[in-house]
Structure 1
Amino acid sequence: MNVEPDTALQLLRAFSRIEFALKQIPEFVNGAVGEKPDTQWSAFYVHVRRHIQNQLSQENKDLLLGGGPNDPPPMKMQISAQRRIEFVDAPLGDGPEGDRLMDAARRVRNNLVHGGKEHARQQRYAGHDDKLARAAIDVMFLAMASHPEVSQLAFYD
């Protein structure tokens, strides 16, 4: 993703804080005793979806959900029959808007961490990735703020 360094750090910090907090609350942890814990995002969505849906700006909703005329469709990587990486359409689904916004924000983080799909000189829409990352940051902060225990754990400093 073509994201400004400061935006990238803010996004990674927001996700690291929320994942740290979620893994401290048994309701939001998946895994068996003795195994590596996984974050149970869908259990968290139930608590935060309405707050995100009501508080996120319409501009950021449109950006994350692909409502703009210049927004490419959401895609994911998969291995082709020739054992090469290819990108295929991956719609967000039909769930509640707050859930889809959380999913979209998590995709932005994943795309940033696992590598972009374009070189900086191949940007079709200048600044688009940075706007996506900033919208994802807003979603994460709204999610953290809307759950008292997560907020306390994530914003301890």
Structure 2
Amino acid sequence: MFESITDNSGSWEIVGMLTEDAVMELPKEKSAVAIDMGTANRLPPRADELMHVVTRFEYALKELGYGVMRNGAVEANWDKFANEELKAEFLQRVREKNLAPTILSNPPSKQVLNGSTLGWGVKAAPNSIQDFIGAVRRVRNNLVHGGKSGHPDADRNALLVSEAIEVLLEALRSHDDLRFMFEGKW
């Protein structure tokens, strides 16, 4: 087992307990190439926590019957869950508790392609529970697909990530069966 693996230049490091089987040897001609992970590692605070919460949340949704087949794969049906379980009352509670002021007033943009140029499309403030949960999901999608690491609007991104986490945790607190699945207590 290895606790830490580092290259000679210090450009990258893997920390954790790895078995020898988990370490792949790179071909000699590739092993000298260092990859600068600086920008990739500049995710908003709590971004990793959001990934963990969303991953487990989607698992719980599918286990509770909120799954749908799309393109030959099962996906969590967030819209159905939002409309059937959370409803407008949940959105009202989020507003009353001030859990997501940024998502509600200045929701995450959606990455767009204008010809061959990437850009960000402004989204309207969510008015329904389905639109609101869609905005929460977009926070995660932008992190994974939208190039938000090292983004110049880092403070806003940090707020969006924190608010998305709080909304998802509030949804778990409001739905016992979902929370039990999320926690692995079935």
Conserved 8 A contact 1:30-1:39: yes
Secondary structure of 1:30's partner?
A: strand
Determine if the alignment matches structure 1 residue 106 to structure 2 residue 106.
Answer: no
* Cα distance change of structure 1 residues 44 and 127 upon mapping to structure 2, 3 Å threshold: same
Counterpart CA distance in 2 for 1:139 and 1:103 is 12
Identify the structure with the greater strand proportion. Answer: 2
Determine if the alignment matches structure 1 residue 25 to structure 2 residue 59.
Answer: no
Secondary structure of 2:63's partner?
A: coil
Q: Within 5 Å, give how 1:1-157 maps onto structure 2.
A: 2-4=43-45, 7-26=46-65, 28-31=66-69, 35-46=72-83, 47-49=85-87, 50-55=89-94, 58-66=97-105, 71=106, 74-81=108-115, 83-95=116-128, 98-117=129-148, 119-120=150-151, 122-123=152-153, 127-156=155-184
Matching residue's letter, 2:44: V
Counterpart CA distance in 2 for 1:102 and 1:154 is 18
Identify the structure with the greater helix proportion. Answer: 1
- Unaligned 5+ runs, structure 2: 1-41
Counterpart CA distance in 2 for 1:36 and 1:14 is 21
- Larger RCO: 1 or 2 (CA < 8 Å, sep 6+): 1
CA RMSD of aligned residues (A): 2.7
* Cα distance change of structure 1 residues 3 and 57 upon mapping to structure 2, 3 Å threshold: farther
Q: How many residues align?
A: 142
If the length of structure 2 is used for normalisation, what is the TM-score?
0.64
Provide the identity percentage. 25
Highest CA radius of gyration, 1 or 2? 2
Matching residue's letter, 1:11: L
Q: Deviations over 1:109-157 (max 9, x none)?
A: 111112345745x33xx63221221110011111122222211100126
